[in-house]
Amino acid sequence: MARQNLETEILYGMDFIPRGSVPAPREVELLPSTDDRDAQPRLDEIEARFATAFPICESLSGATQPVFGEGNPEADIVFVGEAPGADEDRLGRPFVGAAGTKLDDIIKAMGLSREGVYIANVLKARPPGNRNPLPDEVDAHAPYLVEQLLAIRPKVIVALGRPAAHFLLGTHEAISRLRGVWGVWRHGEVAIPVMPTFHPAYLLRQYTIEVRTQVWNDMKQVLSKLEESLR
């Protein structure tokens, strides 16, 4: 068993998956989307509109460029984080710093690739000193996230950390209570399952077997939900 776990870790090339836990299927077969909506032009239009409004809030005037989001416009999974940090602000891309490396590990452990999923944030401009988003900032930026989600219409949303979970689920419950339990993001007729989990930055700070197992269990639920939706 120990040997098998070691091989699993070598196979995935990372130590994220806690020893003793069951690996995910190496590849999740994701079928192409069945409808013919073309999300990319819509995403381009939303991005251009945000760029014109950037940074929207006076309180975010220190941000140097928009960080809109990136990935597969037809993705079955959208990961939603909190806000860009310094690295993301410098490169104009989401999750490219230390937390991004950990998110990459998680995606890879799921048998997926960064190019196959979509990654976005609630805030699309960096808050000074990486402080938590203010309610006014969420109010100003989140409509763009809503439009992104409506354009992509993923089968599952993963809420990375508290601000994303709070916005998507309309709750103020602690992330430790929310994580691991399916919620639903609703917008008009649209209802998409949301799996809240710990933010990769928290995982980095608390790189314990317990937290890694919790996040990995949450991701296995996401993979099961996807498999169910493809049946």
The residue from 88, 105, 137, 218 that contacts ligand URA (CB under 6 A) is: 88
Stretch that binds ligand URA, among 5-13, 23-31, 89-97, 104-112 (CB under 6 A): 89-97
Question: Is 193 one of the binding residues for ligand URA (CB under 6 A)?
Answer: no
Question: Is 183 one of the binding residues for ligand URA (CB under 6 A)?
Answer: no
Between 12 and 95, name the residue whose CB sits nearer to ligand URA. 95
Question: Is 66 one of the binding residues for ligand URA (CB under 6 A)?
Answer: no
For residue 182, what are the CA distances in angstroms to 74, 156, 197? 22, 10, 10
x-marked contacts with ligand URA along 110-149 as a string, rule CB under 6 A: -----------x----------------------------
Nearest to 89, CA basis, from 128, 57, 56, 119: 128
11-24: string of b/e by CB count within 10 Å (b at 16+)?
ebeeebbbeeeebb
> How far apart (Å, rounded) are the C-alpha atoms in residues 187 and 152?
13
181-205: string of b/e by CB count within 10 Å (b at 16+)?
eebebeeeeeebbbbbbbbbbbbee
Between 73 and 94, name the residue whose CB sits nearer to ligand URA. 94
Phi, psi of 71 (to 5 degrees): 135, -160
Between 8 and 134, name the residue whose CB sits nearer to ligand URA. 134
> How far apart (Å, rounded) are the C-alpha atoms in residues 65 and 55?
8
Question: Which residue number has the CB closest to ligand URA?
Answer: 81
Binding to ligand URA, residues 196-215 (CB under 6 A) = 201
Nearest to 70, CA basis, from 36, 102, 95, 35: 95
The residue from 18, 85, 127, 133 that contacts ligand URA (CB under 6 A) is: 85
Residues that bind ligand URA (CB under 6 A): 81-85, 88, 94-95, 97, 99-100, 121, 201
